[in-house]
Structure 1
């Protein structure tokens, strides 16, 4: 029940919409912006880095799927940790996940800007103003769309994501005929260990399926559709990534791809893709797809970040105004605006490589906590109804914990220092809010799924 003058979340998103939120976030700036940077670190073995990241991602994705089915609440990882850990631990989880999505939003916005400018250059058009201006504009437009309508932002995400999948499919179809396996020999030109820092940098490209869980209460039949959407989005994304990276390295070569930087995929397309009606060269088509991809990824994290802030506000771990849906628009308006502020600041002041590393680090740490939450929930509530269960438990979540921790160790010390600074700032916020309002109580929470999913009647059955 929502309070007077407030609106509860509306179930306006389908299985397809939810799946596209995950795919839209993962197949975005990561594949277009970070591929060249990963090749610069590890050479042709960047393909191995993407493949291993896919395996690491699968362990935690399975944990998310089980938790989402058992605890169908907005907020994703934060909601699950809040269910089984103390308030301070839950706050740390929510604080880092919120920041991860917001900082990832700045990465996607910057990726959009660079590809948008490159798209203009292909047609001989010099766009006025610095690229950062287009990044800021993209954030403002998508924040406005999300503030006005969840259904509109969700349907828009679906349409944009389907378009970019089709464009990447064209890239792969032509590229497989032109790629040379010899470009991968030798595979480990920078040494086998160079794969690990490349994995740490590109792990942000596999963040996105967790965004699906942040909108659980806005998805039809969430206990069935959320796990399906999570697993489908991971499967599709890993397959697309491996094909795209293989084609990019096999056609352009590792050395040239590394030098291409953030526009590596578009430059790779110049060598083998034909001209297309209206759009023009293959590079133009890929640049067009990159614009779509980064926009859909940005839209997905605007959705996800605001829902984490909403969940924390509802639990009184952030100001209560963040935990309300607007009475007219039916969206968490204040949470959306608060998330947008951090994205806009990060776009202006944080370099893109630092953005990628910082978002990756917080994702890795957050995924560790989610896997621990799954194990703890199994032990504390063994009879809880679980429409989906992780296979090979407890091996799967333990592997998720170990792999995520290992990758985190290969992220540079400066990024760790920034992360600790954000956590220290969050600690101050938590103490301030705790003294002013006191800790949340069960009556502060509008939805507590653990009880209705595990009623005495169901247990007896």
Structure 2
């Protein structure tokens, strides 16, 4: 007999909602923070850096699309690896993806709080600086929204993402008429030339993480075998086009050298030079800061959705406590998985340095993408007759390129980050062994009790 907590999640998200989950996660604080850092490293060639990263991302996106159409289940990369690899490998995949999304949630919460403080100070200079408090409050609000309604959280994601895209389009519309082509000469830095491009790609790759979150809510999307692949490609296309235009305008108006010196406020400083003042909001810089606030909110909401669905999938597969794999009988959401993910997000907000969170999220994403590309090739061999409503064109070239290019970018991440990541993987291995032993003993105990004679 089935229980309410064991039922599947309801399909309440349309193609637009699914697409906005990906766009909302990708167009987070990254475009505002990383544009200046990319320009500092690669000069005007930062435009090429974002374009190449979009190309690298496309190869893995193709693998996600094929796997999502063939295995329409919540959990994203974890669900696909669970289908094609051993229990240990799938656990490590789920363990790292869950951690990546939760850590990214902490990163976005802190990004929101810093941008919110800056935005408030534009109007109330004497307002108190309480970034940790703001970060905790925003996590609490969106965790509550996700816990009570998937449809409401998906609808909120759509509204917030559309708003921030509109702000960036305003920036682009004013900026294209102010671009000075001379700012793109010389196109590459004279000290290193094109050798600066790969390090800049590794630095900014985190800005392209997020489309994979769409696959974590597969069972909650209408007609997922068609809409998930469409949402993946639409979200990537929208994001790459907006990134390229924003970086082009920022460099063409402020210049790569000044943009690099501006660091995290680069886009806002570029806006100050050519955008007019707006009613209520004020200067162009204020509008961009306002956009950054909404960007981090939508990215936070997207990773709350994604992280909880990975935990839900692992709980349903009994690779984590089964409570995580249950649907709330009243709200119809993976309530326990959402709360568990929120706890880790709050711990990262309170205790983990921002730079470490970002580096680990980037590395684990690269490693996860490599495994997903391997999984699509392995599934082709294991189940060649499996229905695949979407098939990768020119197979096996795209997944092979995805593996190689993600490995190359991984080499540009610091050895310290690699050491911490390996430690986390080792810890995950210990958790897996202990959990498997617990399940085995619990199963043996249950079987033994069932064989005992019933008292008369």
TM-score, reference length from structure 1: 0.92
Match of 2:208 in 1: 206
Match of 2:286 in 1: 284
Match of 1:294 in 2: 296
Cα distance change of structure 1 residues 156 and 440 upon mapping to structure 2, 3 Å threshold: farther
**What secondary structure, in the 3-state scheme, does the structure 2 residue paired with 1:34 have?**
helix
**What secondary structure, in the 3-state scheme, does the structure 2 residue paired with 1:329 have?**
coil
**What secondary structure, in the 3-state scheme, does the structure 2 residue paired with 1:357 have?**
helix
Match of 2:415 in 1: 413
Tell me the distance in 2 between the aligned counterparts of 1:37 and 1:315: 41
Cα deviation for residue 97 of structure 1 reads 0.7
**What secondary structure, in the 3-state scheme, does the structure 2 residue paired with 1:318 have?**
coil
Tell me the distance in 2 between the aligned counterparts of 1:439 and 1:18: 41
Tell me the distance in 1 between the aligned counterparts of 2:115 and 2:253: 20
Q: Is 2:226–2:389's contact at 8 Å kept on the other side of the alignment?
A: yes
Cα deviation for residue 421 of structure 1 reads 1.4
Match of 2:185 in 1: 185
Q: Is 2:59–2:401's contact at 8 Å kept on the other side of the alignment?
A: yes
Match of 1:456 in 2: none
Task: Provide, for residues 82-130 of structure 1, a one-character-per-residue CA deviation record: whole Å limited to 9, x for no partner.
Answer: 0010011101111111111111112211221221122122224343133
Quick check: 257-266 or 431-440, which moved more? 431-440
Match of 1:374 in 2: 376
Cα deviation for residue 342 of structure 1 reads 1.6
Cα distance change of structure 1 residues 74 and 427 upon mapping to structure 2, 3 Å threshold: same
Q: Is 1:33–1:111's contact at 8 Å kept on the other side of the alignment?
A: no
Tell me the distance in 2 between the aligned counterparts of 1:239 and 1:348: 35
Cα deviation for residue 44 of structure 1 reads 2.6
Match of 1:71 in 2: 71
Tell me the distance in 1 between the aligned counterparts of 2:195 and 2:350: 33
TM-score, reference length from structure 2: 0.93
Quick check: 201-210 or 253-262, which moved more? 253-262
Which of 251, 264, 272 aligns to 1:262? It is 264
Tell me the distance in 2 between the aligned counterparts of 1:428 and 1:268: 49
Cα deviation for residue 263 of structure 1 reads 2.4
Tell me the distance in 2 between the aligned counterparts of 1:62 and 1:299: 24
Cα distance change of structure 1 residues 126 and 197 upon mapping to structure 2, 3 Å threshold: farther
Tell me the distance in 2 between the aligned counterparts of 1:126 and 1:396: 54
Q: Is 1:87–1:439's contact at 8 Å kept on the other side of the alignment?
A: no
Q: Is 1:96–1:423's contact at 8 Å kept on the other side of the alignment?
A: yes
Cα deviation for residue 5 of structure 1 reads 4.7
Match of 2:140 in 1: 140
Cα distance change of structure 1 residues 428 and 187 upon mapping to structure 2, 3 Å threshold: same
Q: Is 2:117–2:129's contact at 8 Å kept on the other side of the alignment?
A: no
Cα deviation for residue 42 of structure 1 reads 2.7
Cα distance change of structure 1 residues 210 and 310 upon mapping to structure 2, 3 Å threshold: same
CA RMSD of aligned residues (A): 1.7
Q: Is 2:75–2:310's contact at 8 Å kept on the other side of the alignment?
A: yes
**What secondary structure, in the 3-state scheme, does the structure 1 residue paired with 2:104 have?**
helix
Tell me the distance in 2 between the aligned counterparts of 1:186 and 1:440: 67
* Residue 53 of structure 1 pairs with residue 53 of structure 2: yes
Q: Is 2:69–2:224's contact at 8 Å kept on the other side of the alignment?
A: yes
Cα distance change of structure 1 residues 81 and 33 upon mapping to structure 2, 3 Å threshold: same
Cα deviation for residue 2 of structure 1 reads 5.0
**What secondary structure, in the 3-state scheme, does the structure 1 residue paired with 2:274 have?**
coil
Cα deviation for residue 376 of structure 1 reads 0.6
Match of 1:97 in 2: 97
Cα distance change of structure 1 residues 280 and 440 upon mapping to structure 2, 3 Å threshold: farther
Cα deviation for residue 255 of structure 1 reads 2.5
Q: Is 1:94–1:312's contact at 8 Å kept on the other side of the alignment?
A: yes
Which stretches of structure 1, 4 residues or longer, exceed 6 Å deviation after superposition?
none
Cα deviation for residue 295 of structure 1 reads 0.3
Cα distance change of structure 1 residues 40 and 353 upon mapping to structure 2, 3 Å threshold: farther
Tell me the distance in 1 between the aligned counterparts of 2:336 and 2:405: 36
Match of 1:220 in 2: 222
Q: Is 2:175–2:249's contact at 8 Å kept on the other side of the alignment?
A: yes
Q: Is 1:23–1:209's contact at 8 Å kept on the other side of the alignment?
A: yes
Task: Provide, for residues 371-391 of structure 1, a one-character-per-residue CA deviation record: whole Å limited to 9, x for no partner.
Answer: 000001111111111100111
Q: Is 1:315–1:440's contact at 8 Å kept on the other side of the alignment?
A: no
Cα deviation for residue 439 of structure 1 reads 11
Cα distance change of structure 1 residues 45 and 133 upon mapping to structure 2, 3 Å threshold: farther
Quick check: 102-111 or 10-19, which moved more? 102-111
Quick check: 249-258 or 18-27, which moved more? 249-258
Structure label with greater radius of gyration? 2
Q: Is 1:75–1:215's contact at 8 Å kept on the other side of the alignment?
A: yes
What does 1:21-170 correspond to in 2, within 5 Å?
A: 21-170=21-170
* Structure 1 unmatched ranges of 5 or more: 442-461
Quick check: 383-392 or 108-117, which moved more? 108-117
Match of 1:457 in 2: none
Match of 2:340 in 1: 338
Cα distance change of structure 1 residues 138 and 262 upon mapping to structure 2, 3 Å threshold: farther
* Structure 2 unmatched ranges of 5 or more: 444-456
The number of aligned residues is 441
Match of 1:451 in 2: none
